[in-house]
């Protein structure tokens, strides 16, 4: 199967600072691929190199398909109308805006408004709409829900899933671990200029050997257990309490958040 994106031994320096030290990964067609890393890890640099905004010093980037880009920080002229922005980008891409997309993103009723009059959430949705003109095969989203309220985040997540359902490959860079865990098919963790992990969130959990936390509340109080195999561990715990004739009042099972696994992986430096 051909990939949507193939990155081979990508290196990038800022002066004497080597930000990317030979990054390798591939993105399958039709997946939502997340790029994670602490501040300054090089997430935006990788995206900008792939998008063509930034030159890199060594390596190879292959892209299969047309692309749309929503930058981490975007702005339009303050007194440009929404309709004018749509017309400008449509002419530049030599196509027409999909009317149903404007409805789905809640842009249809904003077209007479000036850019300066839009809320942060409305601006984010407009930028996404502009990135989607021409129905690109691959969509780049750099911190897409920054400054959005809860309602705006839910709305944007819904649209991301809808786009992916219809075949759009999505590359997502985010600081929001819950967002990445909810949306992404696979993730790559950038650590000290290289990819330290690539795989699903479940595979990340298994890698740090802390997939499940089991909290037993009994008549004697609370006790917490760690487990990789939830079924076997829980069965053994229940048998132990039964043999000791201890009444169990509550059982809480926590898979552990992506953020916890990410922090553990970063500490190990693997």
Which residues neighbour 72 within 8 Å (Cβ) at sequence distance 6 or greater? 44, 142, 143, 146, 173
pLDDT of residue 7: 95
Closest CA to 44 of 169, 180, 140, 181: 140
pLDDT of residue 270: 45
User: How far is 103 from 36, CA to CA, in rounded Å?
Assistant: 31
Q: What is the DSSP string of the chain?
A: --EEEEEEEEEEEETTEEEEEEEEEEEETT-EEEEE-STTSSHHHHHHHHHTSS--SEEEEEE-S-EEEE-SS----TT-BHHHHHHHHHHHTTS---HHHHHHTT-GGGTTSBGGGS-HHHHHHHHHHHHTTT--SEEEEESTTTT--HHHHHHHHHHHHHHHHTT-EEEEE-S-HHHHHHH-SEEEEEETTEEEEEE-HHHHHHHTT--EEEEEEETTEEEEEEESSHHHHHHHHHHHHHHTT--EEEEEEE---HHHHHHHHHHHT-
- Angle between helix 120-131 and 82-92 (nearest 10): 20
Per-residue pLDDT of the chain (270 residues; tens, 9 = 90+): 589 999 999 999 988 888 899 999 999 999 999 998 777 778 888 999 999 989 998 999 999 999 999 887 778 999 999 999 999 999 988 888 878 878 878 888 899 999 999 988 888 888 888 998 888 999 999 888 777 777 778 878 888 898 899 899 999 988 777 788 889 999 998 887 888 889 987 787 666 655 677 889 998 888 888 776 778 888 889 999 999 999 999 988 776 556 666 666 665 554
Closest CA to 121 of 144, 103, 99, 140: 144
To the question of pTM greater than 0.85 for the whole model, the response is: no
User: How far is 127 from 104, CA to CA, in rounded Å?
Assistant: 14
User: How far is 140 from 163, CA to CA, in rounded Å?
Assistant: 12
């Amino acid at each position: 199967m051909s990939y949507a994106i193939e990155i081979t031994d990508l290196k990038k320096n800022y002066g004497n600072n080597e930000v990317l030290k030979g990054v390798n990964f591939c993105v399958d067609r039709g997946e939502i691929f997340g790029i994670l890393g602490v501040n300054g890890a090089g997430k935006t640099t990788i995206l900008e190199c792939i998008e063509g905004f930034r030159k890199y010093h060594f390596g190879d980037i292959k892209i299969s398909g047309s692309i749309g880009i929503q930058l981490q920080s975007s702005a339009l002229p303050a007194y440009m109308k929404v309709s004018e922005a749509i017309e400008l980008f449509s002419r530049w891409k030599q196509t027409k805006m999909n009317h149903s997309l404007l409805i789905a993103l809640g842009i249809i009723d904003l077209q007479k408004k000036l850019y300066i009059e839009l809320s942060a959430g409305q601006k984010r949705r407009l930028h996404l709409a502009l990135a989607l003109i021409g129905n690109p095969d691959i969509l780049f989203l750099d911190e897409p829900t920054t400054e959005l309220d809860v309602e705006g985040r839910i709305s944007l997540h819904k649209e991301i899933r809808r786009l992916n359902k219809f075949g759009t490959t999505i590359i997502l860079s985010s600081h929001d671990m819950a967002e990445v865990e909810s949306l992404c098919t696979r993730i790559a963790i950038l650590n000290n200029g290289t990819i330290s992990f690539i795989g699903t969130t479940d595979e990340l959990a298994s890698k740090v050997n802390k997939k499940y936390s089991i909290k037993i509340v009994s008549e004697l109080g609370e006790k917490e257990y760690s487990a990789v195999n939830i079924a076997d561990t829980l069965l053994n715990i229940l048998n132990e309490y039964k043999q000791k004739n201890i009444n169990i009042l509550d059982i809480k099972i926590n898979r552990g958040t992506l953020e916890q696994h990410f922090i553990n992986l970063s500490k190990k430096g693997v």
